Amino acid sequence: MTHRLLFVIGALDRGGTERHLVQMLPRLPRGRFRPMVYTLRHKGVLAPVLEAAGIPVIAPPTWLQHWPGPLGRRGLLLVISMVRLIWLMVTLRPAVVHFFLPEAYIIGGLCALVAGCRRRVMVRPEIRP
């Protein structure tokens, strides 16, 4: 049986957590796990690495980056990201939803509760002095 895993992060820009995801996800056994990444803001510069490894990366539409609407770019981006993420969780029914970094904990965690995802994991990177 293959388990769907959904990873939620702000974006796949250069950073320690993002590099960790790019290194870890392609190593998961494909016969057991089907990982997918959802980015809340935009795909980021590391997304092509995951996509080349056959791991889907889903992000809000790029036209939102220049939206001048009444909610403002950030407000509309947040609303559309949440709606898309809830829809994705409801249709995919992932075995586990894994959140990385505070933005994803808050936004993704709320979406997972609304979507009825029971297995949720949050990770806070270790900060060393």
The CATH number given to whatever domain includes residue 21 is 3.40.50.2000
Q: Per the domain annotation, does 105 fall within a domain?
A: yes
pLDDT at 76: 73
- The whole-number pLDDT of residue 114 equals 96
pTM: 0.88
**What are the tens digits of pLDDT across the range 51-96?**
999 999 999 877 655 556 555 566 777 888 899 999 999 999 999 9
More confidently predicted of 111 and 16: 111
Instruction: Annotate 57-81 with b (16+ C-beta within 10 A) or e (fewer).
Output: bebbeeebeebeeeeeeeebbbeeb
129 within some domain: no
Q: Is residue 11 a contact partner of residue 43, using CB atoms and an 8 Å limit?
A: yes
* Domain assignment present for 128: no
Between these two residues, 8 and 16, which has the higher pLDDT value? 8
